[in-house]
Amino acid sequence: MAKRKTLFIGCGDGREILPLANHQEYLLIGLEPSDQQYAKATEALRGFPNVRIIKRRIQDWEAVEYEGDIDRIYFIFPTPVVLRDQAEEIIAKACFLLSKDGGRFHIFTEVTLSRWPDPGDKAALQEFLRVLGDGRLSVSRNEISFDELPRMVKESYCGVLFKKHNLSPFTAIEARKP
Ligand SMILES: C[S@@+](CC[C@H](N)C(=O)[O-])C[C@H]1O[C@@H](n2cnc3c(N)ncnc32)[C@H](O)[C@@H]1O
């Protein structure tokens, strides 16, 4: 049986992949450009045959063999400046990779348009949403509580930190090919 392919953009130390790592029906791919985080993720996920950790930014990952073949893409707690400055490249590559057949691109961020105090961060999220909805993908956005974040997000390093920020809600974005 073909494995469900799940991609984690900026997987950090790999904590968000661990909850799925024992599920052999998934191929789990984590992209992480930082030397330090990549080393941690590689160590944490050593010995799981269905996990690949790749030291690359998504836009630099060629991945021709995965064109239109990724079932789920997660971008969990992205840095707002990355959302702002790299929106076009990241979204273009996500569109290239995402399966037409039910593929979903999920983004979870602590920044909300309603309550987050930093206007620069809010503008970054707005810009990312603009590019995401620019005709190529159909997009939904919800503000949700910490408890509604998927388990693997709660277990990610940033998830643990953000639990303490006390500014719930968070933003959950889902995009798919029309
Ligand atoms: C705030 S951290 C979140 C890490 C992890 N997702 C978590 O929640 O614990 C953002 C991560 O994205 C990575 N990153 C930044 N730009 C990226 C890009 N263009 N493609 C892939 N990863 C990127 C950074 O190296 C960093 O580890």
130-176 per-position pLDDT tens digit: 999 997 899 999 999 988 999 888 888 787 777 777 778 999 999 99
Q: pTM here?
A: 0.96
- Give the tens place of pLDDT for each residue, 40-79: 999 999 999 999 999 999 999 999 999 999 999 999 999 9
Number of domains in the chain: 1
* CATH number of domain containing 18: 3.40.50.150
| Distance from Cα 154 to the centre of ligand 1, integer Å | 16
Range of the domain at 104: 4-176
Q: Which residues line ligand 1 (CB under 6 A)?
A: 9-12, 15-16, 31-34, 37, 57-59, 76-79, 82, 86, 90, 156-159
Residue whose token pair is 């900026």 = 10
Residue 11, Cα to own-chain centre: how many angstroms?
8
**Strand (E) positions, 10-153?**
26-31, 51-54, 72-76, 104-109, 138-144
